[in-house]
Amino acid sequence: MTPTDQALAWLSTYGVPVLFAVIMISSAGVPFPITFMLIAAGSFVELGELSLWPVIAAGIFGAVIGDLIGYGIGRWGSGTAVRIATWISSEEKWRQAEAAARKWGGPGIFFSRWLITPLGPCINFASGIAEYSWPRFLLWDIAGETIWVVLYVMLGKLFSDRVQAMKDMIGNLTWAFVALFACLVFGWKLIGYLRPAPSKEMASVPADPPGTSSLK
């Protein structure tokens, strides 16, 4: 049985508590098909097996708590955080993620919640390492996770008869968004690199001496 099938079996049997637990664990960094779980939960809502508001609340609270766990490990984990980072990936990659977290700040957190979700755990961890403001992290996180949960639960509810097809479509779209985001960042960097620097002649022009004025 695949992880997706197992998660769906748990969701069907135990309902909202499983949804909360799986989303929290996955948001903290353990890979689980949580976007598809939200779609499936929306389908169960449409079929009358689950209630809408408990599903939305469990999704938001689970995601936010998991994100805060990842942030906390990055910020207060000290040497443990670095060891986890190098175990998951190369240290250089995580240093780059930290630099991105410092540069993009809140918008990077917000969009990684619902638009480029595969980057979410990395952004959580890197934001903690970069010591991004905890209240601001929480604010951007709640805003993004609310959009993510409501969006996919309602998609599952509206298209409950096409859940499997949506699973494949969402997976493809997610990585398409990641690729688009990477292209935009690369393009922005390239424009900055190709932008001509101020000429030496302009930089060397002396300022007008005090007490003089120039005719305009």
Instruction: Name 37's Cβ contacts closer than 8 Å, sequence gap at least 6.
Output: 7, 8, 11, 19, 22, 23
pLDDT in tens, 146-159: 999 999 999 889 88
Return mean pLDDT, the chain: 76
pLDDT reading at 203 higher than 90: no
Least confident span in 26-30, 112-116, 209-213 = 209-213
pLDDT in tens, 145-193: 999 999 999 988 988 777 666 555 555 445 444 444 555 554 555 455 5
For residue 15, the one-letter residue type is G
For residue 89, what pLDDT band results from cuts at 50, 70 and 90?
low
The predicted pLDDT at position 21 comes to: 94
pLDDT reading at 123 higher than 60: yes
Spatial contact of 108 and 123, defined as CB atoms under 8 Å apart: yes
Question: Strand locations in 63-160, DSSP E?
Answer: none
Number of neighbours of residue 130 by Cβ within 10 angstroms: 17
For residue 215, what pLDDT band results from cuts at 50, 70 and 90?
very low
For residue 214, what pLDDT band results from cuts at 50, 70 and 90?
very low
For residue 198, the one-letter residue type is P
pTM of the predicted protein model: 0.72
The predicted pLDDT at position 187 comes to: 52
